[in-house]
Amino acid sequence: MTDKQLPKNLQDIISHQNTESNNQTKGYQQAKEHHEVKSPQQTNDLKYSTSPQLLDVHQEAENMPDLAKRHFFKRIGMVGATGVAATTGVAAAVEATKAKPSWGGSSFMDAMGDLFQDHYTRMTNEEMTEALDRIKRKAKRKFGVDIKCEDTKPMPDTYFGYALNLSKCRGYRECVEGCIRENNQGRDSQVQYIRVLEMDEGDSNLEHSDHYYDPATVPMKGKYYLPVQCQQCDNAPCVKACPVEATWMDTDGIVVIDYNWCIGCRMCMSACPYWARHFNWTEPQIATEDLNHNTNYLGNRPRMKGVVEKCHFCTQRTRKGRQPACMEACPTGARVFGNLLDPESEIRWILENKTVFRLKEELGTEPKFWYFTDEARART
């Protein structure tokens, strides 16, 4: 089957991806050259509330490019903090806090580094290396072990999609457990990226589903099971709702989150029609022996209290050519993941040859997550 014969929604997504990929590449470059500029009123407020010495600093910075200006103030802030400590006779204490976790579990220097960290899309390679090193140090302090944290970029000519065969899903929740283990989800908070809904045969109303089913054995007679997670929407309402651009769709179609930039307002959660985003009301608790040491910045690195998280298609795996953990954990082969741009991929075959549907298509979110069934479907 040629591209012209593909389901219309897939044609639209592929066409949209080709345009968005070019635009986003340009947008990343523009983002590095742009930073939020203070309004005249904000600038006046700064002048009225600062000392003459700081006014000289501000005037010097006004002649700098925006990104350089941010780095200039960052250096001034770090030097100023050390200077204040020195004038009060505690410079030695500041030096000690470089290694001592006395600032919310971080050292003083790491806390300052997090405070002044730029948005992911604007960070230089050097800044990203510093951020990854801070993540590793904090994990060492908290868990007592060394972790690996990378910034794995999207692969070229790749646009991910997912398909799930409801005929094969038996409600075992192995996908849920595999996801929890792989993605370092807090065990105390019960944050789970995947919810498996138990549905009555013949009923497609999600409001009638049972997320908390707990029979002695599954599947139950007269029931079928529908796993729901982030649908990785091409027209994601969560991205539009975020007031600080802490979440965006990357060039491989994955909607990601920069946890360090998230302010915890939960606007994205309100906008998501799939209940796929989760807020950390407490510090996620993971036993050291349960921690996955292989992590990714835009993925499964340990999260902090007060930020939102969600499924990210296991960026630490899929951006290296591996399967997501949920697909690998499924014992019935119900899950199919792949590159929508590859005409030879299994997911393309499914979309070309099966009758597929997406959840809440009428909302125009354009999910990249499809459901289908086998022609001869038998339930026990």
User: Which tokens is 16 given?
Assistant: 């949209």
pLDDT of the residue at 190: 84
Instruction: Single out the residue of 195, 68, 201, 54 nearest to residue 122, CA to CA.
Output: 68
Measured CA to CA, the distance from residue 163 to residue 358 in angstroms comes to: 10
Give the mean pLDDT per block of 10 residues along the chain (380 residues): 53 64 49 41 39 47 49 48 46 50 70 94 97 96 97 98 98 98 94 97 95 96 98 98 98 98 98 98 96 98 97 98 98 98 98 97 98 67
- Report pLDDT for 81: 45
DSSP state of 145: S
Q: Is 250 exposed, middle or buried (0-12, 13-18, 19+ CB in 10 A)?
A: buried
Residue 357 pairs in a beta bridge with 371
- Give the burial class of 340: count Cβ atoms within 10 A of its Cβ; 0-12 exposed, 13-18 middle, 19 or more buried: buried
Phi, psi of 362 (to 5 degrees): -65, -15
State the pTM of this model. 0.77
pLDDT confidence of residue 20: 55
Helix, strand, or coil (residue 340): coil
State the amino acid at position 290 in one-letter form.
Answer: D
pLDDT at 377 (0 to 100)? 46
* pLDDT for residue 246: 98
Q: Provide the sign of the torsion angle of the four alpha carbons 68, 71, 76, 79, taken in this order.
A: negative
Give the total residue count for the chain. Answer: 380
CATH 3.40.50.1010: does it fit domain 3-29+156-372? Answer: no
Question: What's the Cα-to-Cα distance from 304 to each of 46, 97, 138, 229, 335, rounded to whole Å?
Answer: 32, 20, 11, 21, 30
DSSP string covering 23-84, please? HHHHHHHHHHT------HHHHHHHHHTS-HHHHHHHHHHHTS-HHHHHHHHHHHHHHHHHHH
Looking at residue 23, its pLDDT comes to 52
Query: Helices 108-115 and 66-87 sit at what angle, rounded to 10 degrees?
Result: 150
Give, in order, the Cα–Cα distances in Å from 217 to each of 52, 171, 182, 201. 74, 10, 25, 17
Q: Locate the domains of the chain by residue range.
A: 3-29+156-372, 40-145
Q: Is the peptide bond before 302 cis (omega within 30 degrees of 0)?
A: no
CA-to-CA distance for 234 and 366, rounded, in angstroms? 5
